[in-house]
Chain A
Amino acid sequence: MVAKRKTPVKSRNPNLIRGIGKYSRSKMYHKRGLWAIKAKHGGVFPRHDPQPKPPAAAEKPPKFYPADDVKKPLLNKRKPKPTKLRASITHGTVLILLAGRFMGKRVVFLKQLPSGLLLVTGPFKINGVPLRRVNQSYVIATSTKVDISGVNVEKFDDKYFSKEVEKKKKKGEGEFFEAEKEDKKKLPEDKKEDQKAVDTSLIKSLEGVPDLKAYLAARFSLKSGMKPHELVF
């Protein structure tokens, strides 16, 4: 095989219309310098003999032939991309959560995770929202932005938020009747440390803007007379 080029091949024959190039075959021959390559190799275009392949292993006949023809599933080469982020959501945007436990809370957007979900934090000290993933569809983006340049969110990704796998215990008859008291799941200390690390630098930049901390601590609600389609967020 020929060695891979460092730069991808760019066509020297621009398209006039799809399927029709600007230059003819003879012009392209000259443009590509095939005459020079030929001259270098004494009037003959260089050929590489096929490299010797290892002999193919003898294939055993299959043990089982299905009675009817089995259809092979079509090849799927799709690579899912993270959802397109709305233009109104940028680093440090204040978002309003619309659903879930923290409905109505105003929260700071940190980054979009590879799964497409948004990584978001209260900050925890201000409104009780921890580092959390949130779907873009359940969020209103306000035009208020917070400076998050001092915050390091490199280490957070979807695996950080995955549930811990519990080992299944085999239930014996005696245990079946006993109500197994599970210990209340405690948050591991390192997650608390991560929260603190993110929040301290964030809160410092929040204090620069007057009333912003109180704003994030309050919940959003629709009052009488507010028309969502006429509100500017």
Chain B
Amino acid sequence: MPFKRYVEIGRVALVNYGKDYGKLVVIVDVVDQNRALVDAPDMVRSQMNFKRLTLADIKIDINRVPKKKTLIDAMEKADVKNKWENSSWGRKLIVQKRRTSLNDFDRFKLMLAKIKFWVVFNVLKIGIMLGILFPIPMKAGMVRQELAKLKKETAA
């Protein structure tokens, strides 16, 4: 099992410990065996131990220790933000954040939406099993509709 994500200049990483927990940073230089110089558009460039970083799949094209403006332009060009938010890891983090920030009322509304969804789902399932409803194409469409509705609810 070879490694696929390497520590290199331009590697995007997620900070997993410390004051900047949860931030996406770019490795801008390597200090020594354990530390890297790390930079992000909204923080002062600083050194960080590799143990505090989890490497992401994204890499941008920069020279060693670029100026802040160059770094920001390179990140825009590589579209780091969108790539991250569409990756499965990024999407998971967004959903987690949304779930923890749910209000008591929001949790109640979510519960109602889930109940509604599963009732419809089970009715359709039983209908198909009994052969009452039309087979596969119709069901997939309906299910996808309900899934989209539920996603909207969790996203809202």
Chain A residues engaging chain B, CB cutoff 8 angstroms: 94, 96, 106, 142-144, 211-212, 214-215, 218, 220, 230-233
Q: How far is the CA of A28 from the CA of B122 in the complex (A)?
A: 89
Q: Which residue of A lies closest to B111 (CB)?
A: A218
Q: Which residue of A lies closest to B107 (CB)?
A: A231
Find chain A residues with CB under 8 A from B101 CB: 232
- B109, A232: Cβ atoms under 8 Å? no
Considering only residues 91-135 of chain B, those with a C-beta below 8 Å from chain A are: 100-105, 108-109, 112
Chain B residues engaging chain A, CB cutoff 8 angstroms: 100-105, 108-109, 112
Find chain B residues with CB under 8 A from A96 CB: 104
- A232, B112: Cβ atoms under 8 Å? no
- B103, A143: Cβ atoms under 8 Å? yes
- A94, B105: Cβ atoms under 8 Å? yes
Q: Which 3 A/B pairs are nearest by Cβ-Cβ distance?
A: A144-B105, A142-B104, A215-B108
Q: Would you mind naming 27 contact pairs between A and B with Cβ atoms under 8 Å apart?
A: A94-B104, A94-B105, A96-B104, A142-B103, A142-B104, A142-B105, A143-B103, A144-B103, A144-B104, A144-B105, A211-B105, A211-B108, A211-B109, A211-B112, A212-B105, A214-B112, A215-B108, A215-B109, A218-B108, A220-B104, A231-B104, A232-B101, A232-B102, A232-B103, A232-B104, A233-B103, A233-B104
Q: How far is the CA of A143 from the CA of B104 in the complex (A)?
A: 8
- A215, B102: Cβ atoms under 8 Å? no
A39 to chain B, nearest CB (A): 69
A184 to chain B, nearest CB (A): 36
Q: Which residue of B lies closest to A209 (CB)?
A: B105
Q: How far is the CA of A142 from the CA of B112 in the complex (A)?
A: 19
Q: How far is the CA of A73 from the CA of B62 in the complex (A)?
A: 82
Find chain B residues with CB under 8 A from A215 CB: 105, 108-109
Q: Which residue of A lies closest to B109 (CB)?
A: A211
Find chain A residues with CB under 8 A from B112 CB: 211, 214
Q: Residue among B105, B108, B109, B112 with the most chain A CB within 10 A? A: B105
Find chain B residues with CB under 8 A from A214 CB: 108, 112
A104 to chain B, nearest CB (A): 12
B68 to chain A, nearest CB (A): 35
Q: Which residue of A lies closest to B105 (CB)?
A: A144
Q: Which residue of B lies closest to A106 (CB)?
A: B104
Query: Besides A96-B104, A211-B112, A232-B104, 5 other CB < 8 A contacts?
Result: A106-B104, A144-B104, A214-B112, A218-B108, A232-B102
- A232, B108: Cβ atoms under 8 Å? no
Find chain A residues with CB under 8 A from B109 CB: 211, 215
Find chain A residues with CB under 8 A from B104 CB: 94, 96, 106, 142-144, 220, 231-233
A212 to chain B, nearest CB (A): 8
Q: Which residue of B lies closest to A142 (CB)?
A: B104
B125 to chain A, nearest CB (A): 25
Find chain B residues with CB under 8 A from A212 CB: 105
Find chain B residues with CB under 8 A from A106 CB: 104
